[in-house]
């Protein structure tokens, strides 16, 4: 059984006003680099011991937070521990432009990292200020060029659209510049306003400048045109890649495979030893101190767990798979879960096919690209 391993690094230099991830702003001098790495390695051992035999790690993704702040030797110890429990064919580190330089790239590569995902967001100072980011446009461009120049790292960039006063022209110019600098994968997300964030509070009071929804939709289409025009494939609703440059780790999620989430604030979902088709999802508490303490005592970290039965796995497989160009392989999903995804969905699927929202090839369901803007609604109706 192949596993996608996710390691959460729960610290950032500063909290961005739109972010609702499990992360805490910290002075980097206070990050317990080695202690946190020890705890993650301990959690890896405990989680693997509870799995059916034969589980092996295939991809590793450091997300956060800002894992590029993690001291490379400590991060490297985690890579070595995961690599010893599988056969890794992709190791990604999420980076912010403020913590990516030549030395870090060299040390990451020596530790086994082969892909970086850089939180560029925009190449315009005014947009980065609006987003409350610490880097500026020059810093973002410099970080991308540094990663590309280092060689041996596949470089992805995150870009946001739907920002106040952002134009289609500025957005497509940014994408062109990133691709011209050697980025081979782009994750492009519309700004979403989450409750409980500073942007959420401002929006509630009507004090957050926003773009209208139809202009955001126009930008989504412009992103697609720019990326496809440059030779990237639109392989998931928000993701574009040059040939061979897709995110293998995320593809495992989207196929509905098991994933081992490690670290404070991480979420994982893995099978139970008794029945490989049902599993358990866990969500570790975000408190990194409590996380380390509990693992130092030899126990799993505090958090919540829930049973994930076969029908839930089918629904999640549909929800994620229908957001990809490949769609959902129905036999594969049935094989994984023991449940036929078609059962009970015949009428809903026929309705969506008749509306042109779904393609039913018999062995596979997919949403045509022209309907990806409403993919979440289509998924909800066949859920
Ligand atoms: S750097 Fe990323 S994870 Fe950290 S606060 Fe900003 S958006 Fe959130």
Domain architecture of the chain: domains with CATH: 2-252 (3.20.20.70), 324-382 (no CATH)
As given in the structure block, the two tokens for residue 83 are 């690599």
124 half-sphere exposure, CB direction, 13 A CA radius: 20
8-state DSSP, 207:
-
187 CB within 6 A, ligand 1:
no
Eight-class DSSP state of 152: S
Burial of 230 (0-12, 13-18, 19+ CB in 10 A): middle
Tokens 């192949």 sit at which residue? 2
Report pLDDT for 278: 81
DSSP 291-324: HHHHHHTTSPPSEEEEEE-HHHHHHHHHHHHTTB
Cα–Cα distance, 330 to 317 (Å, whole number):
10
Please give the number of the atom of ligand 1 that sits closest to the Cα of 15: 5
Neighbours of 334 (CB within 10 A): 17
Grade residue 125 by pLDDT with cuts at 50, 70 and 90: very high
Tens digits of residue pLDDT in 307-364: 999 999 999 999 999 999 999 999 999 998 999 999 999 999 999 999 999 999 999 9
Looking at ligand 1, which atom is closest to the CA of residue 96? Answer: 1
Q: What percent of the chain has pLDDT over 70?
A: 100
96 C-beta closer than 6 A to ligand 1: yes
Distance between CA atoms of 233 and 258, rounded to whole angstroms?
Answer: 25
Measure the CA–CA gap between 322 and 379, rounded to whole angstroms: 7
Q: Indicate whether residue 16 lines ligand 1 (CB < 6 A).
A: yes
Does the C-beta of 19 come closer than 6 Å to ligand 1? yes
Q: Is residue 6 reached through a cis peptide bond, with omega within 30 degrees of 0 on the bond before it?
A: no
Q: How far is the CA of 16 from the centre of ligand 1 (A)?
A: 5
Residues 6 or more apart whose CB falls under 8 angstroms from that of 311 comprise: 337, 339
Ligand 1 lined by 66 (C-beta under 6 Å):
yes
Q: Which pLDDT score, from 0 to 100, does residue 275 have?
A: 72
The first and second tokens of residue 11, run together, are 């610290």
The response to whether residue 12 sits with its C-beta less than 6 Å from ligand 1 reads: yes
Share above pLDDT 90 across residues of the chain, in percent, rounded to a whole number = 92
Token reading at 49:
């011991």
pLDDT tens-place string over residues 33-91: 999 999 999 999 999 999 988 899 999 999 999 999 999 999 999 999 999 999 999 99
Q: Which residues contact 53 (CB under 8 A, 6 or more apart)?
A: none
For the Cβ of 203 lying below 6 angstroms from any atom of ligand 1, the answer is no
Please give the distance, rounded to the nearest whole angstrom, from the Cα atom of residue 192 to the centre of ligand 1.
Answer: 14
Tell me, in angstroms, the distance from the centre of ligand 1 to residue 118's CA.
Answer: 12
Indicate whether 274 pLDDT > 80.
no
pLDDT confidence tier of residue 187, bands split at 50, 70 and 90: very high
Which residues have a Cβ under 8 Å from the Cβ of 100 and sit 6 or more positions away?
68, 116, 118, 143, 146, 147
- Per-residue confidence at 265, pLDDT binned at 50, 70, 90? very high
Instruction: Quick: pLDDT tens for 15-27.
Output: 999 999 999 999 9
Nearest-CA residue for ligand 1 atom 8 is 19
């Amino acid at each position: 059984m192949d596993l996608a391993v996710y390691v959460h690094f729960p610290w950032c230099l500063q909290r961005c006003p739109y972010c609702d991830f499990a992360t805490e702003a910290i002075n980097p001098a206070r990050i317990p680099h080695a202690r946190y790495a020890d705890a993650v390695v301990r959690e890896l051992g405990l989680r693997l011991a509870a799995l059916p035999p034969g589980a092996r790690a295939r991809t590793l993704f450091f997300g956060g937070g800002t894992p590029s702040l993690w001291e490379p030797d400590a991060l490297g110890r985690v890579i070595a521990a995961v690599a010893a429990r599988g056969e890794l064919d992709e190791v990604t580190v999420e980076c912010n432009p403020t913590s990516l330089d030549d030395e870090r790239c060299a040390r990451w590569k020596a530790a086994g990292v082969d892909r970086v995902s850089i939180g560029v967001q925009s190449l315009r100072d005014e947009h980065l200020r609006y987003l409350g980011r610490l880097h500026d446009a020059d810093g973002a461009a410099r970080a991308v060029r540094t990663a590309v120049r280092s060689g041996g790292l596949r470089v992805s960039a995150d870009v946001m659209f739907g920002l106040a006063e952002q134009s289609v022209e500025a957005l497509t110019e940014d994408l062109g510049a990133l691709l011209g600098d050697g980025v081979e994968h782009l994750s492009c997300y519309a700004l979403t306003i989450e409750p409980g964030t500073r942007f959420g509070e401002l929006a509630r009071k009507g004090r957050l400048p926003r773009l209208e929804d139809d202009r955001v939709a126009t930008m989504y289409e412009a992103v697609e045109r720019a990326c496809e025009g440059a030779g990237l494939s639109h392989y998931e609703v928000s993701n574009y890649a040059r040939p061979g440059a897709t995110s293998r780790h995320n593809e495992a999620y989207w196929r509905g495979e098991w994933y081992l989430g490690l670290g404070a604030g991480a979420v994982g979902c893995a099978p139970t030893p008794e029945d490989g088709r049902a599993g358990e999802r866990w969500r570790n508490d975000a408190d990194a101190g409590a996380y380390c303490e509990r693992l130092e005592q030899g126990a799993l970290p505090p958090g919540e767990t829930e049973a994930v039965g076969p029908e839930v796995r089918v629904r999640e497989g549909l929800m994620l798979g229908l957001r990809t160009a490949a769609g959902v392989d129905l036999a594969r999903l049935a094989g994984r879960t023991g449940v036929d995804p078609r059962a009970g969905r015949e009428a809903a699927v026929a309705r969506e096919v008749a509306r042109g929202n779904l393609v039913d090839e018999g062995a596979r369901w997919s949403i045509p690209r022209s309907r990806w803007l409403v993919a979440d609604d289509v998924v909800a109706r066949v859920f």
